[in-house]
């Protein structure tokens, strides 16, 4: 829906369905109920998540026409998409495979370009901008040596430049400005704002400028094309896990003239071990479920940090020198406390307040996808939970 600070939606990766017919069936049963509560008299935006197979299915004209007609009939529209999970995301073990196939592969490249072709057609005529969020190149631990990591980074960057070429063609043909929104996350090749900026300046820009100058653009035109079509996805949970502060991140990006394509509004778990550490370790163990990666960044009492690739390793590696944890577990936005645990909800409030003072994106997408793996006391009917999250964010706006 349109707000004074951009278009607001929730990401449909909350719903199962790896092929289009299954995913569309869930959208048809859920969206009308949600819309009737959160925005009955205005258009409702949808943050569409298409798995690879769903993107192939939706490319068929009959499926696409049916969906486009359904959007119009239900007063809905698509303005952003989530292209991070390529394949299975529900009822399977995802873990590090959420990055697979990664940006070193033609499969990831082709899937993303296909998705942009769909988004260009789905964007309403009165919207000239759309974006798709994606993996931060690859999963860091798949690359065992510095040379392997360097080669993966360069290959992934070359493939992203191919996406920029496709987006320039879409803009020439349709007038739509579409951007690929890179989503740093713990243990991705790009984990944080510093790594994103370094990659942008030391890989993407020089490699992209060389490519586009060879095709007849000036260096200035090439730079503008890259900065228009490759942007950052600011996932609040991910930056909070890395102990990064919203204003500092925004200021660093501004200083480099780098754009933010969307805010993914999400919350992480936070554990303060200054009291009742043993009790809190027992509670946090309930969140150590087998589906998703739950990376942990620990802050020690001396102010230093230690990273763990998943909750299992963090629990096993806990000692008395650790003062707090931030855990990559997307918990409901509207709760600040989870018994003896807490959340990074305040980072959402801070991010939205920074955005309200000086808006830096047109796209706001709620992304809580872990409802099915939460401890039972925090589970509720899904549509009711989505409605509660949307209304909570609307209150902030």
Question: Taking a C-beta distance cutoff of 8 angstroms, is the pair 266, 330 a contact?
Answer: yes
β partners of residue 82? 49, 133
Who's near 223: CB < 8 A, 6+ residues apart? Answer: 205, 209
Question: Whole-angstrom Cα distance, residue 199 to residue 180?
Answer: 15
pLDDT the model gives residue 57: 98
Are 103 and 135 a contacting pair, CB within 8 Å? yes
Are residues 322 and 273 in contact, defined by beta-carbon separation less than 8 angstroms?
yes
Angle at 193 between CA 8 and CA 88, to 5 degrees: 60
Distance CA 121, CA 176 (A): 9
SS3 content of the chain, % helix, strand, coil (to 5): 50, 20, 30
As beta bridge partners, residue 76 has 44
Residue 233 β-bridge partners? 262
153 CB-near residues (< 8 Å, 6+ apart): 137, 189, 199, 203
Q: State how far the Cα of 159 lies from the Cα of 137, in Å rounded to an integer.
A: 10
- Cα-Cα-Cα-Cα torsion 312, 316, 317, 321, nearest 10 degrees, comes to 120
Alpha helices in 59-105 (DSSP H): 61-73
Q: Give the H/E segment covering residue 354.
A: helix 345-357
Q: What are phi and psi of 96, to 5 degrees?
A: -70, -15
What is the predicted pLDDT for the residue at 80? Answer: 98
Q: Rounded to the nearest 5 degrees, what angle is found at the Cα of 262, between the Cα atoms of 2 and 354?
A: 85
With a CB cutoff of 8 Å and minimum separation 6, the contacts of 264 are 11, 133, 183, 233, 234, 235, 236, 237, 365, 366, 367
What H or E segment, with its residue span, contains residue 307?
strand 305-308
Average pLDDT, the chain: 95
**The pair of three-digit structure tokens given for residue 281, joined into one six-digit string:** 């370790």
User: In this structure, are residues 346 and 267 in contact, taking their beta carbons and an 8 Å threshold?
Assistant: no
Cβ atoms of residues 123 and 138 within 8 Å: no
pLDDT of residue 21: 97
Structural domains in the chain plus CATH codes: 2-267+344-396 (3.20.20.150)
What's the number of CA atoms in the CB half-sphere (13 Å) around residue 5? 19
Low-confidence ranges of the chain (pLDDT < 70): 90-91, 371-374, 379
Using omega within 30 degrees of 0 as the cis cutoff, is the peptide bond preceding 101 cis?
Answer: yes
CB 168 within 8 A of CB 229: yes
């Amino acid at each position: 829906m349109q707000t004074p600070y951009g278009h607001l939606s929730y990401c449909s990766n909350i719903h199962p369905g790896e092929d289009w017919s299954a995913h569309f069936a869930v959208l048809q049963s859920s969206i009308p109920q949600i819309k009737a509560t959160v925005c009955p008299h205005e258009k409702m935006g949808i943050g569409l998540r298409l798995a690879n197979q769903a993107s192939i299915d939706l490319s068929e004209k009959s499926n696409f026409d049916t969906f486009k007609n359904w959007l119009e009939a239900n007063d809905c529209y698509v303005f952003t998409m989530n292209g991070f999970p390529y394949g299975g995301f529900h009822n399977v073990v995802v873990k590090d495979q959420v990055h697979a196939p990664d940006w070193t592969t033609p499969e990831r490249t082709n899937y993303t370009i296909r998705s942009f072709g769909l988004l260009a057609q789905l964007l309403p005529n009165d919207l000239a901008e759309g974006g798709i969020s994606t993996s931060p190149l690859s999963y860091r631990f798949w690359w065992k040596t510095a040379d392997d990591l360097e080669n993966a980074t360069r290959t992934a960057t070359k493939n992203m430049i191919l996406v920029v070429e496709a987006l320039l063609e879409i803009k020439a043909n349709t007038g739509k400005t579409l951007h690929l929104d890179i989503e740093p996350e713990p243990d991705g090749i790009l984990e944080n704002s510093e790594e994103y900026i370094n990659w942008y300046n030391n890989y993407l820009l020089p490699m992209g400028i060389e490519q586009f100058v060879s095709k007849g653009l000036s260096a200035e035109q090439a730079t503008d094309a890259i900065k228009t079509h490759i942007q950052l996805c600011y996932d609040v949970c991910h930056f909070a896990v890395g102990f990064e502060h919203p204003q500092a991140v925004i200021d660093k990006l501004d200083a480099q003239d780098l754009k933010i394509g969307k805010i993914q509004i999400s919350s992480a778990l936070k554990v303060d071990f200054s009291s009742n550490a043993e009790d809190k370790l027992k509670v946090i163990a309930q969140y150590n479920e087998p589906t998703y990666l739950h990376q942990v960044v620990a802050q020690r009492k001396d102010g230093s940090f230690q990273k763990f690739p998943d909750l299992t390793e963090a629990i096993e590696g806990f000692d008395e020198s650790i003062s707090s944890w931030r855990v990559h577990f997307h918990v409901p936005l509207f709760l600040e406390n989870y018994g003896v645990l807490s959340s990074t909800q305040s980072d959402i409030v801070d991010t939205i307040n920074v955005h309200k003072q000086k808006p830096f994106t047109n796209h706001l997408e709620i992304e809580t996808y872990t409802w099915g793996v939460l401890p039972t006391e925090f589970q509720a009917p899904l549509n009711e939970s989505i409605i509660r999250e949307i209304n909570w964010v609307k209150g902030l706006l």
